[in-house]
Structures are given as C-alpha cells and as structure tokens.
Amino acid sequence: MNPAMDFDTLRRAMADNYGQPEGPARNARAEQLLVEAEKLGIPLAVIEALGHQLKVYNYSSEKGKMFVPFARLLRMWDERPEDFDEYEIHSLHWVFKWMSAGMLDQPHVPLASIEKWLGEMEHRYRLAGHSERAVRSAEFSVAAHLGDLARAERAYGAWLAADRDTMADCHACELHGQGWWQSVRGSDGEALELWAPVLEGAYSCAHEPHTVLASSLLPLLRLGRVEEARAHHLRGFRLVRAMESMRGAYADHVEFCAVTGNEARALELLAERPAYFTDSGDPRSKLEFMAVVALLMDRLTALGLGEQTVPGPVGRVWTAAELAVHARGEALALAGRFDARNGTSYVSERARARMDRPALVDRLPLGVRSVRSARAGQQAPIVAPAPPQAAQGAAARGVGAAAGLDELLAEARGLAARRSPDAVEAWAAVSSAAEGHELDVHDRAAIADHAAMGRGPQGIGLFLEAAELYGEAGDPGEALAARSRAAYVRALTGGTEEALATGAELREQVLALFAEGGTGVAQTASVLVGRARTLMHRVEEAESAQESAPPGDPGPRDDVLEVAEAAARELLALVEPHGADDVAVASRGAEAHAMLGELAARAGDGAAAVVSLTLAVDGFVAAGLPWFAVEYDSRLAGIALHLGDPELAERSVRAALEHGGSHLEPAGQAQLQLRLAEILAAQGQVGPAAEHALEAAHWADEAGEAATLGAWARHQLGGFLLRQGRWAEAAEILESALPDLTGEMHGDGAIVQTRWWLGDCLTELGEHRGAAEHWLRAADIARTWPEQRDHAMLAHLAAEALGHAGLTVEADRAYARAGDLWRELGNVDGLVRSLRARAWAAARTDEDLDGARALMEAALRECASAVEGLAEAAGPPGTAPGAGADDEAEAEDARRRMVAELGHTHRQFGDLVARSVPDEAEEASARVAFEESLGHLDRAIAVFTSLGDDVLDARTGAELAAGRVEADLGRPEAAAARARAVLDACPRLDGDIAEARRAEAERLRGLLERPAKA
C-alpha cells in the first residue's frame, strides 16, 4: 500500500497534473489527488485540491462536473473562512465567474437559478470589496445568450464603465468578449479593432489568442480580408488542435473551411476529433459543433457528394447525407432545450442561421494539402474545375439532340477555323448528335481528324481515315495535311525515319499542288509544319543520343540542326505574306518562329532565341490564339533566367498565365505559379512569392499531384512564410508537406531543409521538444553527406532546443556530437560554443563545478590554440607567400573573431562560477568563487579591450558583470568605478545597447551609493 502524500508532494503532483493535456485522464488524476488531500487532515490541502479539480473540469469536455466541488468550497468558506489563505480566497471569488458561464452552458439549470446566482455573485463581490465589473460582464453573458438585446447593451455599457480590479477577466479575454458582441451586432470592423491588441500579441493568456483567432475568421471573410482570414485559420487551428476544452473554437475553424471551398480540409478536422460528436459535458459547445457539422454535410450533399463516406459518431459508417440529417437533428434538439429553459426561440434561430450559412468565398486556397474526396469509388476533387466554354455549351444543348445538329456543326466549324482547343470537344458533340443522320463527307472527315488529336498512336488510323474522306470530298490539300499529322504521330512513337521519308514525299506533293493552284496556303503550311515538327523531334532524339554516348563520340552532325532550321524557314517564307488574312496561317508563322527560337537555344545563342520566341508569342497573340503562346512564354522565362534577366523571366511567366487563362490544365497552372514564385523570391519579393506558391499548391492538388508537385510547392511556401516571420503558418504548411517529401522524388536536401525550417518555426513558437526532434531527424539524414557542416549545425541546434526543453542529459549528448563534428571540420567557433553549452549544463546538474570547469577550460584551450595558429599562419603583414591585401584582411578578420571568442569564453566562465555560488554558501568559500569569477571577467575585459570599439558592447557587458562581483566581494568603490567606466563608454555605443548599458550602470551605481547617503 502506497504511503499517503505529504502536502508539498501533493502540491507538486497537482502542478504536474495541470501541465498535462486537457481531457478525462487529467480530470481523473485530479479526483485521485482530492482523495489524497482528504487523507492529510489539512483543510487547506482539501481547499487546494478542490480548486485544482475545478480548474481541470473547466478546461475540459466535462465542465458539467464543476458545480459539485465549487458547492463544497463555498460551504467550507461560509463555515470556516480562516482555513483559506489569501490565494485561495482570491481563487474562490474568481471561479464565481466560471459558475455563471457554466450554468448558462447547461440547459438543465433553470433560468431562475442563474438569475439568483447573479445576485449571489454581486452580493459576495460587494462584501469582498470587489468592483462590479466582473458581475456586469456575467450579466451581459446571460442577456446575450437569452437574446435580450436591450439588457445586454445595458450590461455591456456597465461592464466597460466599471473599474478593472483583480476579479476582472484578463485584457485578452475581455477584448474577445467585447469584439464578439460587436460582431454579433453586425460591426465586424469594430470587432477586429477591439481584437487587434490580442491578435498582435499585446495581450494573451492560456486561451488567447486562440479564441480571438477563431472568432475573427468569418468577420474577416465578410470584410473581404481573405488573406488575413487564411492566416488566422492556419495560426489559430494550430493553437486549438490539442485543447479538448476548445470545441467551440474548433467548430469555428471547421465552419471557415466549409464556407471557403475547403470542404476536404473540414473533413480532415472532423476526423481528428471523433469525441467531439458525442462529448456531452458541455452542451453549448456541442450545439455549436453539431450545427457546423450540419452546415458542412449540407454543402457536400449540394455538391453531389451526399453518398461520400465521412467522419462521424463512432459505431457506424456515415455518408454525408446521413450525417447532415443526424447533425441537424442533434443541433436543433439541443437548441430546443436551451430555448425551453430560456423561454425564447433565440438559440434555435441562431443555430438555424449557422447551419444554413451560404459560402462566403468560392475558393480560398489554404496551402495545406487538400485530400481529394471520393465519389462513387473514384478519386475526384470536391469541386471539379469548370469545363471549357464550348463543352459547356454542348452539354447544355444535350448531346444527341438532333434538332441542334446544325447549330453544333456551325459551332464546330467556327472553332476549327479559329484553331480553338475546344474544337475537339465540339466535333465530338457533332459526332454524337449526328447518329442516324447523313453528314457531308467533309464534315465526317473533320470528325475523324479531330477525334485523332490527342490519342497518340491510336490516332494514326483516324488521321489516315480523315485523309481518305478529305480526298473523297475533293480537298486533296487537307488530305495531305491529315497524312502529315499521322506521320508526325508515328515519329513520336519511334518511327522517326519512316515519318521523315513520308514527310518529304508529302512536301513534294503539296508544293506541286500549291503551285498548280490545287490547294491553299493553310493546307500547304499544315504539311510543311508536320515535316518541320518531325525534324525538331529528330533534333531532340539526336541530343538524347549524344547525352548517353561514350566520351569522345562526336554526337549528332550539325546538319541535323541545319535541316530543321531550313524546314522552319521554308514554312515561314510560305506563310508570312498571308498571315494577316488567316488565323490558321498566322499560327503556322508563329510556330515557325518558335522552332527557330528553340533551335537557337539549343545552339547556345540565347539572345537569338529570345528574339524568335518573342516573335512567336506575339504572333500567336495577334492571331487570337494566346493559349498556343503559353509553351513559348515558359521557354522564354527559362532562357531569360539563364541569361540573368529576371525581369524578362517574370514578364514571360505572367504572360503565360494570362495567355493560358481558363485553358490551362491544373498541372500547368501549378508549374507556372511555382516558377513565378521562385523568380520573385530570387528578387527578394518574398510576400508575392508566397502568394504564387500558395496558388501552385492549390493547383497541384487539383491536378492530383499533391504528393509530388504539391509537396514541393508547400515546401517552398513554408520557406517563404518563414522568411516573413509567419512562424505558425509556416509550420502548418511545412508539416503538411513533410509526409509527401521523398528522397527519390524531391531529394534528401528538400527533406532536411523542411525539417530545418520546421525546427526554426517551432523554436519561435516555444515548442522546443518538437524543434529538437526535427533537427535530430534532419541530422540523421545529413550524417551521410560528404560535406558535414549541415550535420554539425543541425546537431548543435537540436542540442540548444533540448536544453530549452529541459532535457539536459539529451542536450549534452547532442552538444557532444556537434562538438566532435565541429572538430573534424576544423570549425573552432562551433566547437567552442558546444563546449561552453555543455559546461553550463554540467553546472546545473553536477553537485560541484569540476565537470563544468573542465569543459570551460577545454574551450579556452581551443580558443587560445586557434588564435596562436592564425597568428603564425598570417605572420607579419605582407609576408604570407602570395598573400594579397584581401587575403590579409580576411586572415585578420578570422583572427579577431577567434580572439573575441576567447573573450566570450572567459566572460561565460566568470558568469558560470559566480552564478554557481549558493545563497547559503559560507563566506570564505563564496569569496574564493567570486575571486575566481572576477579573474575570468578581467581577462575577458582585457581581451575585448584589445579589439577596440568593435566589441565595445561585449566589453561593457563584462565590465558590468565584474562590477556586480566586486559588489558581492564588498568592494563598493571598485564596483562604482566599473559602473562609471561603462557610463563613459555609452556615447560610443549604438542606440538600444547604449540605453540598456546606461540603465544597468546607473542601477549598479545607485545601489552602491545608497548606503553612503544613509
């Protein structure tokens, strides 16, 4: 049988339990600790244990349990107030507010009891001498819940007018409530102004800015501030994710996703918290959650995904349509219970309004991976991209509708004449609608011709069928063009030589036909372009063969490029005189320029390539065919980057996005957006780069490439957000990218960099253990790399994080690992810093300073040895063999840095010894330690002095530390002299450092002079 706890052990156990994650396990432990407290026979122990129980119940899904321990506490206070100490008296009155809110959240508590409680709270606060501010705040909450707007406004005004005292909620919580009310009343802008100090970090507490971030989401969307809304979602959800008590705020984030086109993300959030569907200890937050679930499920059902499987209450499989009905029923039943208690319909009205809320933004990319939702067993995006306009028109008319055949034919012919990419869909619609109808043979040829496009090898037969039909229709030029298209497809499938032979034959035939007036420029150009494309393909094959050829192989002959160029120029010569009159002809001229640009790039003539590709782009745009320019805009961007012209590269990518418009496939959108992001980032435009990386991630997900291109886009986006100091957003994005990053697809470097960035983010967010884990895992990858600097740096960073997390032993191991690596790399700075860090850790854990001293002494030896080595290597100025002025300056900089490191090591050695003196130390032993400390500090001052004013901030810091030690040794004159020396140096220091040093020196001097004045 375990012995009973003593009071101190009980208090430590309660403190430890309060630091555990919210939830039933923490609550159960609090109940056990109350039993232990009762065994002690100490009233204050029971009071503290009851207070602990109240706290953990309040911040959990079991808020309904608060009333029993509070009633017991209140009875103990009324019977024996002397058993309460000052802290527990304050706590007892503080939790009156929790009881008021808790009663509102429980519909079984009668309204009369709540009103009676408000009076009791007001009476007890008045007796204790507290302001009525907290009472009026509680009254406001009751009135707002009831929908009694007039009373709520009166209480709101009285709340703000009353004096703040120790019973008032913290500034952050009060501002949240005030902003919430303004938002409810329709003043979103005013709400955000009230919340600004919390959002900006001026005020915070254990649950803020968590709830303010959640509450701000819809107001920001309604005001059109979507970028801020996205940032608040990423930042805020990270805060509430692990907090069981924040179901209401969690619901706000689900709702945000549901009304911004992020239904897939919303489903993921639901899957993370299955208990939220059934936890009944806090009925009001369950009402909020189920209302949002109903909203989301109705959205999915409206999108045609009602049969999709979704997360729901455990025990069965739910479809979206089924859960929509269940959630709405649950929400309305709960709302009905509140309204029955309140005697109003207000809660039900608000619940219905929330469940029926329309989408506020059609599409708001979040950057995190969006898992595509399944429908009928197929992978598909929740919201499919809209089809091209022509296809929409055909669908609207109804395929197979004979009455619309003439209209379909007219549209298809017009689109084909304009070379629209929608022509393929239009001719397919004609084919379907023409079943049972006799078509003109030329139209049948066009159907076969367009059906062949995009089918690869399967299209060859259709092209040849089209050629036969064109011939039957009396259009020999178009027949030759169709045969030319078939030959090009054959080249792409491995038959280049056969295709070239066919192309040469077709060229002769079409040119002869053209000379006789038997065909037009457009048909002749179609044959020539087919041959030119085949020759361009042969160029690509020749280059591929050269890349895989053994060393010394001459590779492709120059005539491969020359023949292709000649074919392109022949095409250009044919079409240039006629391009203004015919879209098809103009497009062939633009393509000829594009070929010439590509050949110039392959020949290494970047400037000529830019000229020709620019002509190609301009030609396609002038012809009204901007979508054909996209490929060449993109090529231009790549060449511009190679030529060191980022402005041209940026213009070209932006043009590609504009020219592609709605015809761009999602994968193309993603690639272009990502390239633009990288170009902008290289120019230092990190904010715009992040916007385009966000778009890239979204389009990659739409393209079904979330794990490939999408992961890379998220990797880049996280880095851009990090560079802007948006730590929480960056962490969410990087964590979303990490599972998809693989060495095979993205490279180990990307994985290491992502974990490195995550460590940086988590450090800024105070999540040191998580940061250490990422840095250590990155270090394990980097340990296999030939160059070990990254391995060393990651091990060092992990050690620092482990130290901040209080894992001293683990930190020491990581520092030792980093130190060994720094030593192997010859990086004395890193080695010395790792030794100093280990010394500090040893001082905290060892009973004596032997281990810490040994490590500091090792650091001093490394510094001294490095300084000596650098001095010997440099020799007298100008004497190093082959050394120029730059080399000498670099060597001197290295020596000065190492000398400074020596000074810092002496400074830290002195601090370490001084801080290790316990308060209860005997005077003699304390004096010995302080003298040792002073010796190191004086050596640090001497070292810093030798380096001049470049390190004046370090020197004055050491001087002040020495002054404090002098004071501890009972030498006020010496300490005051050091303070004066620092004050004399302050004019030579920079602003903030000067102010800090001046204030510290004045404080030290004031402490020393005070006894003399007495």
Q: Are 257 and 269 in contact (CB under 8 A)?
A: yes
Unique residue bearing structure tokens 């404080």: 1003
Residue 687 has pLDDT above 80, yes or no: yes
Give the pLDDT band of residue 388 (cuts 50, 70, 90).
very low
Give the span between the Cα atoms of 86 and 71, in whole angstroms.
19
Specify the pLDDT at position 97.
82
Specify the pLDDT at position 456.
83
Specify the pLDDT at position 401.
41
Amino acid at 483: R
Q: Are 448 and 462 in contact (CB under 8 A)?
A: yes
Amino acid at 635: R
Q: How far is CA 527 from the centre of its chain?
A: 51
Rounded mean pLDDT of the chain? 89
Amino acid at 306: G
Residue 341 has pLDDT above 60, yes or no: yes
Q: Are 125 and 132 in contact (CB under 8 A)?
A: yes
pLDDT tens figures, 534-545: 999 999 988 887
| Furthest CA-CA distance within the chain | 121
Give the span between the Cα atoms of 569 and 1, in whole angstroms.
98
Specify the pLDDT at position 918.
82
Instruction: Report helix, strand or coil for 208.
Output: strand
Region 836-846: mean pLDDT is 88
Region 945-958: mean pLDDT is 91
Specify the pLDDT at position 390.
39
Region 861-867: mean pLDDT is 90
Residue 457 has pLDDT above 90, yes or no: no
DSSP string for 817-879: HHHHHHHHHT-HHHHHHHHHHHHHHHHHHSSSSHHHHHHHHHHHHHHHHHHHHHHHHH-STT-
Specify the pLDDT at position 190.
97
Region 190-206: mean pLDDT is 94
Specify the pLDDT at position 878.
54
Give the span between the Cα atoms of 775 and 794, in whole angstroms.
5
Q: Which residue has the higher pLDDT, 154 or 554?
A: 154
Residue 395 has pLDDT above 80, yes or no: no
Region 746-772: mean pLDDT is 95
Unique residue bearing structure tokens 């209302």: 291
Give the pLDDT band of residue 552 (cuts 50, 70, 90).
low
- The token duo for 587 is 């497009």
Find the angle CA(222)-CA(224)-CA(225) to the nearest 5 degrees.
110
Q: How far is CA 888 from the centre of its chain?
A: 45
Residue 1009 has pLDDT above 70, yes or no: no
Strand partners, 318: 310
Instruction: Say how many C-beta atoms besides its own lie within 10 A of residue 621's C-beta.
Output: 18
Give the span between the Cα atoms of 245 and 62, in whole angstroms.
9
Instruction: Single out the residue of 88, 79, 24, 76 nearest to residue 51, CA to CA.
Output: 88
Strand partners, 310: 318
Give the span between the Cα atoms of 483 and 466, in whole angstroms.
8
Give the span between the Cα atoms of 354 and 334, in whole angstroms.
14
- DSSP 8-state code for residue 384: P
Give the pLDDT band of residue 517 (cuts 50, 70, 90).
very high
Lowest mean pLDDT among 402-406, 441-445, 448-452, 876-880: 876-880
Specify the pLDDT at position 688.
96
Q: Which residue has the higher pLDDT, 403 or 317?
A: 317
| E strand or H helix at 310 | strand 309-310
With the C-alpha atoms ordered 803, 808, 810, 815, is the resulting torsion angle positive or negative?
Answer: positive
Q: Are 484 and 530 in contact (CB under 8 A)?
A: yes
Give the span between the Cα atoms of 937 and 957, in whole angstroms.
10
Q: Which residue has the higher pLDDT, 210 or 845?
A: 210
> Roughly what angle, to the nearest 10 degrees, separates helices 459-472 and 441-452?
160
Instruction: Say how many C-beta atoms besides its own lie within 10 A of residue 363's C-beta.
Output: 11
- Region for residue 878 given its phi and psi (left: phi exceeds 0; alpha: psi -120 to 50; beta: otherwise): left
pLDDT tens figures, 236-250: 999 999 888 899 999
Q: Output b/e per residue, 241-278; b: 16+ Cβ within 10 A.
A: eebbbbbbbbbbbbbbbbbbbbbbbbbbbbeebeebbe
- The token duo for 240 is 């509430």
Residue 982 has pLDDT above 80, yes or no: yes
- DSSP 8-state code for residue 225: -
Specify the pLDDT at position 1004.
86
pLDDT tens figures, 716-747: 999 999 999 999 999 999 999 999 999 999 99
Q: Are 717 and 224 in contact (CB under 8 A)?
A: no
Give the span between the Cα atoms of 512 and 654, in whole angstroms.
43
- DSSP 8-state code for residue 378: E
Q: Are 554 and 546 in contact (CB under 8 A)?
A: no
Residue 385 has pLDDT above 50, yes or no: no
Region 987-1009: mean pLDDT is 85
User: At 169, phi and psi to the nearest 5?
Assistant: -60, 160
Give the pLDDT band of residue 66 (cuts 50, 70, 90).
confident
The pTM (predicted TM-score) of the whole model is: 0.82
With the C-alpha atoms ordered 84, 87, 93, 97, is the resulting torsion angle positive or negative?
Answer: negative
Q: What percent of the chain has pLDDT over 70?
A: 93
Give the pLDDT band of residue 380 (cuts 50, 70, 90).
very low
- The token duo for 9 is 């052990």
Region 752-771: mean pLDDT is 96
Instruction: Single out the residue of 441, 423, 419, 749 nearest to residue 590, CA to CA.
Output: 419
Q: Are 661 and 693 in contact (CB under 8 A)?
A: no
Q: Are 473 and 482 in contact (CB under 8 A)?
A: no
Specify the pLDDT at position 782.
94
**How far from 599 is each of 60, 545, 561, CA to CA, in Å?**
69, 17, 7
| E strand or H helix at 743 | none
Residue 529 has pLDDT above 60, yes or no: yes
